[in-house]
Amino acid sequence: MRLLILPLFLSLAAIGLPLATAHGRETALTPDERSKLDTFEGVTIDKADKVFAGKDYRRSLAEYDAFIVQFPESKAIPYAILQKGRSLQLLDKRFEAIKVYQEVLDFFPDDVKYAAAAQYRIGQSHAENGDVEKAMKAWLALADDADYAKEPLGADALNALADNLLKQGKADEAVKRYEQVGVDFRASNPEAARAAIERVAAHHIKTKPDAEKLRAFYVAAKTFEHNPQTPGEDAATDALYWRRIREWIKDPANSKFTDVQKDERDAFYRYWAGKMQGMMPTDDGFQIDLCEYMRAYERDDVAWAKRLDKQFADRHKDGDYARVVRWINAFATKKDKVEEYYQKLDFAKMPNADIQNLVYTLLETSRDPDRAKAAFDKLRSAELPDDAKMSMFNWFRDRWPLPGSRDLALRTCELFANADAGRMQALRYLHWRCHPHHGHIRMEKDFPEGLALAADMQKVPAHAKEAFSLGGNLLQWSGKYEDAIKVYQQADNPPQTLLWTSECLAKLGKLDPAVAQLREVENFFADAAPDAALRTAYLYRDAGIKEKYVRSLRGVLKKYPKSGQSSEAHQRLEEMGLPIGGGVDAEE
């Protein structure tokens, strides 16, 4: 029997920590383990696993229990008991689950894979019950067992213990746990390893800056990349290492300081600037960041600009316009320096890719939409394929809060070689901006421009059907319900246009025609029938006709019992405190 060494922990109120849960990591039989089962065992356990995978935990509980009774000598018994406990846990019967998990530990303590999982789930169940102290004891028992701790869930236990140590102010002890996970579980539990690496980096970068310890951990963990690899031999020339360090230094979680933390902020940047001095002189990204860190504690913009200018001048070659754009980005907030470097550009010689990056820099970093539009006009659009223009359009669309992004998105659509495809993309974009869920994006001119473009595209056979639907939406969202209904009729895209038509009729106060439209959908479009039935109920609710609302909800339950709409109807009835039953009260 294995011995457990259990220290005392803080009270729940004192801790209040976020706990690792590993809900998504389930323990499963390997193909080799399955091959050792006879035919009947395999069929039975497969049935139980299938039910469990379908999240029907009441049935999986019964199936695993039946397996245990039917095959008490099976090699899969530890697994079946574990899964029985897991089913109980997922049914929120955690105290019962803990007892079942304990059976695995009592009878199969040396079946490491399943015993370790049971030990982890005991801790997890306690945590979900709000008993952090018992959770920590269970996880410490796992972590202190040399065999159990090597199992994938051991990483989650170690991370949870480390989280607890951090809450207790024992950062150095916590980091040792995190480092263990970051090194030992890169392959078997990469998610936990990644989380641990992030915590170790945060500690050695900001909490207690220590470049030497961070480098040692980097080597032991085989870099900080998602896939382990051989690290560079020398920290002074390891570009990948310093790229990750600089990313973490710039991360708001590390670089954010309060107004009263001026000294801590200065010390942070001074430390890392000191560590970077004299390294990687030809790496522009490295040197630009170094200049920024020195600027942070020196607060001397003149010295900062001189350093950047020197780095540029020392290694610049004529025709390297990508590098000029990079310096425009570095000087983004200084209009005079942006202008100085902008004048170094020769657009006639610049590759389109460099002009594109310049547009992005001017729009997003410099926040200079006028100059971004001027640079955009320098693109040799005929040289760009439509898929490249589509990527550019997506970039502008995704920067919707930036002034100028809308105009540039629409202007990009105008550049498409396939003019109809470009105009259709512009219509989709304006439709997207006008959607009620995007009220924070919409501008006054989006609706009229969208409607005008929809009218044009409705004349193009290849796009007419979609254009009628989108145009109908724009009319509906702008309150022109009668006009929207006429356009939906031209779209002829049932059942969706029929559902939208019902919404318009309801807005016009025409309840009976709206319901009739939904009945048509329910009768002729099986896939949309549950949605139409629930929409009917909501029409009655919004009209204040409670009797028909309740009857319609019960009708959804009766006619579409396996649908998501049935679950929603069930919830609505429960909220009103009404019985679920249908019978004569359910609408046919």
- Does the pLDDT at position 1 exceed 50? no
What is the band of 24 on the pLDDT scale with cuts at 50, 70, 90? low
Please give the average per-residue pLDDT across 191-211, as a whole number. Answer: 95
- Does the pLDDT at position 66 exceed 90? yes
| CA distances to 10, 126, 266, 393, 463 from 422, in Å | 63, 57, 51, 10, 11
Alpha carbon 357 to its chain centroid, in Å, reads 26
Model pLDDT, residue 4: 36
Predicted confidence (pLDDT) per residue in 498-523, tens digit? 999 999 999 999 999 999 999 999 99
Domain locations along the chain:
1-169, 257-315, 494-588
- Does the pLDDT at position 584 exceed 50? no
Q: Environment class of residue 8 by beta-carbon count within 10 Å: exposed (0-12), middle (13-18) or buried (19+)?
A: exposed
| Rounded CA separation 423/84 (Å) | 58
* E strand intervals along 13-108: none
- Does the pLDDT at position 3 exceed 70? no
Please give the average per-residue pLDDT across 289-313, as a whole number. Answer: 97
| Rounded CA separation 309/295 (Å) | 14
Model pLDDT, residue 442: 81
168 contacts 11 by C-beta, under 8 angstroms: no
192 contacts 20 by C-beta, under 8 angstroms: yes
Alpha carbon 244 to its chain centroid, in Å, reads 21
Please give the average per-residue pLDDT across 431-446, as a whole number. Answer: 89
Predicted confidence (pLDDT) per residue in 342-393, tens digit? 999 999 999 999 999 999 999 999 999 999 999 999 999 999 999 999 999 9
- Does the pLDDT at position 287 exceed 90? yes
Percent of the chain, pLDDT > 90?
Answer: 90
Whether omega for the bond prior to residue 461 falls within 30 degrees of 0, making it cis, is no
Model pLDDT, residue 257: 92
| CA distances to 116, 155, 168, 452, 480 from 182, in Å | 19, 9, 21, 57, 59
494-588 shares the fold of 1-169: yes
- Does the pLDDT at position 23 exceed 60? no
| Rounded CA separation 357/351 (Å) | 10
What is the band of 587 on the pLDDT scale with cuts at 50, 70, 90? low
Q: What is the mean pLDDT of the chain?
A: 92
* Across 231-235, 319-323, 384-388, 449-453, least confident range: 231-235
Q: Environment class of residue 40 by beta-carbon count within 10 Å: exposed (0-12), middle (13-18) or buried (19+)?
A: exposed
572 φ/ψ angles, rounded to the nearest 5 degrees: -60, -40
| Rounded CA separation 82/62 (Å) | 13
- Does the pLDDT at position 20 exceed 60? no
pTM: 0.76
Residue range 494-588, CATH number: 1.25.40.10
Q: Give me 413's structure tokens.
A: 């659509």
Percent of the chain, pLDDT > 70?
Answer: 94
| CB neighbours of residue 522 within 10 Å | 21
Model pLDDT, residue 439: 79
- Does the pLDDT at position 307 exceed 60? yes
Model pLDDT, residue 9: 34
Model pLDDT, residue 471: 98
What is the band of 581 on the pLDDT scale with cuts at 50, 70, 90? low
| Rounded CA separation 130/11 (Å) | 11
Predicted confidence (pLDDT) per residue in 395-409, tens digit? 999 999 999 999 999
95 contacts 122 by C-beta, under 8 angstroms: no
| Rounded CA separation 257/266 (Å) | 10
Residue 3: CB partners within 8 Å, gap ≥ 6? none
| Rounded CA separation 449/60 (Å) | 56
* Cα–Cα nearest to 464, from 500, 499, 424: 424
b vs e for 61-86, b when ≥16 Cβ sit within 10 Å of the residue's Cβ? Answer: bebbbebbeebeebebbbbbbbbbbb
| Rounded CA separation 552/514 (Å) | 15
- Does the pLDDT at position 22 exceed 80? no
Predicted confidence (pLDDT) per residue in 27-58, tens digit? 999 999 999 999 999 999 999 999 999 999 99
Q: Dihedral sign for Cα 84, 87, 92, 98, please.
A: positive
Model pLDDT, residue 10: 35
| CA distances to 241, 293, 297 from 277, in Å | 15, 11, 15
Q: Which CATH superfamily is domain 1-169 in?
A: Tetratricopeptide repeat domain (1.25.40.10)
Predicted confidence (pLDDT) per residue in 527-567, tens digit? 999 999 999 999 999 999 999 999 999 999 999 999 999 99
